[in-house]
Amino acid sequence: MKNYLSVNDYLVFVVYFFIVAVYGYWIYQRKKKASTDTKDFFLAEGSLTWWAIGASLIASNISAEQFIGMSGDGFTMGLAISTYEWMAAATLLVVAVLFMPVYLKNKIYTMPQFLNQRYNSTVATIMAVFWLLLYVVVNLTSILFLGALAISSISGINFTLCMLFLAVFAIIITLGGMKVIGYTDVVQVFFLILGGLVTTYLALNLVADHFGSDGGVVAGFKLLTENANDHFHMIFSKDNPNYLSLPGLSVLIGGMWIVNLNYWGCNQYITQRALGADLKTARNGLLFAAFLKLLMPVIVVLPGIAAFVLYQNGYFQQEMLVNNELQPDKAYPVLLNLLPSGLKGLAFAALTAAVVASLAGKANSISTIYTLDIYKKKINPQASEKKLVNIGRWVVILAMLLAVVIAPFMGIDKKGGFEYIQEYTGFVSPGIFAMFILGFFWKKTTSNAALFATIGGFLLSIFFKVLPGFADLQWLSPFGFSKAVLQPDGTAIYEIAFIDRMFFVFCIAVIGMYIISVYENRKGIKPNGLEIDRSMFKTAPGFTIGALIVVGILVALYTLFW
């Protein structure tokens, strides 16, 4: 297998780099205001169209952990991992209908600002610091590390040089502000989808060729379903070895909603793309992103299933091994290395586009939170607009450099990037979502209740994580909430599925917030409410039709691949 890029591959990649750089510079020059105006620099206020918002959401969301991690999960567990993508499509509709009107009506630009406006500065500051740590230490490092690892394995270029290249490329884009990020993301998504589809096309053709079929990709897909039927079930039964990762119906009616609603609705990194637009534009952008989400498993999951079938039939017997052990995360790089000259450069550009777009979006969010919610409020309230923008740019550079330094020491390669991110964000997601959802729709929610959700939710997550070590949870097994895991000494421990654990913590956090709020209300404490009226949630006919189409496609997919 050739782990290097040809001259044609480099030419394709240089063309991609040139297009992104020139287009980004042109966007930047069109509106010099971005260099001195914080709302324009951080939010691109009023500048992003619906298609730019939707494309930017996907470009920022899809990165190496999807291309590499989800393809690896496709190799291991099959199409079921697509639930993260397809349930995200449904979640985007909920966020568009219920969350965006609240944010825009109350002129919310950052998540800590929402917490300060709804609760108090203590809650806002605690969460601002937490989000900065989470974004830098968990998200930025994992995206950078996995992206460099994938690009290095495909091109043969030194791993450290790949990290530095990705960091510098992302910094260049980020320094232009959210407007440059948003519009260059449109180009990035084009390369991402085109390159991803090329890889899927190759993988399905390989399957068809192996079994002697001349039907191309259609025949290849049919052969996948025949030769890996167990890889085409969305809902796992309890005897499935991957049940703890995707516990049955919980992916439809349980904790998967907490994962997605927190990520898509309460996450600065994501919501920032739409917060500078009007409601109609923001909603249409989220709807466009939902349609793109339906397509993502074709790009990031099917190649992994194809690699599994090919591996089972004698392909990649050495390439899929690391230290003589099967490494599913090698599936996508292995397939990319089979691409012919030129097309490999296109796929390489697609992977780079995904990584750089995610890095740029994350860095911009880090910069926004630090500049507007910490520096402006706590350090220098009198800072000028130009000063704030310059501080924001320095934060981008420093955050990226810090990620480059610490990424190799975070153990990301041992745990796997997708699992790494899900596990560490999952410790706080239930409490954060509880704090947001009650803050939106229950005016009596108090600040101390929000603190309970934040701190208590984190402690509860740790408690449920370590609980199987000293408590027998076999009694939860008949309800589908625990499963026996064999230990090295031959004993079995009943563990709670990760997604179910998040759902339990969320429910306890909501109950605790309700009790605390009712108690404090009786003592005369009056919380800060948000401006909300029913008319805010009315949707335009075009959006409603589009949303129904998305829901219909999702029902069909889950019915077909149940």
In order, the DSSP letters of 426-487 are HTTHHHHHHHHHHHHH-TT--HHHHHIIIIIHHHHHHHHHHGGGTS--GGGGGGTSEEEEE-
Mean pLDDT of the residues in the chain: 81
What is the residue type of 199? T
CATH number reported for the structural domain that contains residue 203 in this entry: 1.20.1730.10
Residue 421 lies in a domain: no
Residues in the chain: 562
DSSP 99-147: IHHHHHHTT--SHHHHHHHHT-HHHHHHHHHHHHHIIIIIIIHHHHHHH
Relative orientation angle of helices 343-368 and 178-210, to the nearest 10 degrees:
140
Which carries the bigger pLDDT value, residue 58 or residue 87? 87
pLDDT digits (tens, 9 = 90+) for 179-198: 666 667 677 777 778 878 88
The per-residue pLDDT for 557 is 93
Structure tokens, 296: 């993502």
Residue 19 lies in a domain: yes
- Secondary structure letter of residue 456 according to DSSP: I
Q: How far is CA 349 from CA 353, 357, 419, in A?
A: 6, 12, 25
Structure tokens, 344: 């490999």
Residue 75 lies in a domain: yes
What is the mean predicted confidence (pLDDT) over 128-136?
83
- Give the lowest-confidence range in 50-64, 173-187, 219-233: 173-187
Indicate if the pLDDT at residue 34 is higher than 50. no
What is the residue type of 390? N
pTM value surpassing 0.85? no
* Confidence category of residue 293, pLDDT binned at 50, 70, 90: very high
Q: Range of 239's domain? A: 10-28+42-109+124-243+271-416
Question: Measured between alpha carbons, how far is 542 from 19 in angstroms, rounded to an integer?
Answer: 33
Residue 284 lies in a domain: yes
The domain total for the chain is 1
Question: Which three-class secondary structure state does DSSP give residue 306?
Answer: helix
Question: Measured between alpha carbons, how far is 112 from 201 in angstroms, rounded to an integer?
Answer: 44
Name the maximum alpha-carbon separation found in the chain. 77
DSSP 225-241: HHHTGGGS-SS--TTST
Which carries the bigger pLDDT value, residue 547 or residue 357? 547
Residues 6+ apart with CB under 8 A from 365: 135, 268, 269, 272
Residue 253 lies in a domain: no
CA 231 to centroid of chain Cα atoms: 23
What is the mean predicted confidence (pLDDT) over 473-499?
71
The per-residue pLDDT for 423 is 67
Residues 6+ apart with CB under 8 A from 250: 256, 480, 497, 499, 500, 503
Indicate if the pLDDT at residue 43 is higher than 60. no
Indicate if the pLDDT at residue 316 is higher than 50. yes
What is the mean predicted confidence (pLDDT) over 95-111?
86
Ranges of H-type helices in 175-254: 178-210, 216-227, 250-253
Tell me the torsion sign for CA atoms 517, 520, 522, 525. negative
Residue 520 lies in a domain: no
Residues 6+ apart with CB under 8 A from 429: 258, 259, 262, 263, 502
What is the residue type of 94? V
Indicate if the pLDDT at residue 37 is higher than 60. no
* Confidence category of residue 411, pLDDT binned at 50, 70, 90: low
Q: How far is CA 537 from CA 32, 95, 100, 279, 544, in A?
A: 35, 11, 9, 10, 12
pLDDT digits (tens, 9 = 90+) for 167-179: 888 888 777 666 6
* Confidence category of residue 512, pLDDT binned at 50, 70, 90: very high
Residue 23 lies in a domain: yes
**List of E strands, 261-395:** 321-322, 325-326
Residue 162 lies in a domain: yes
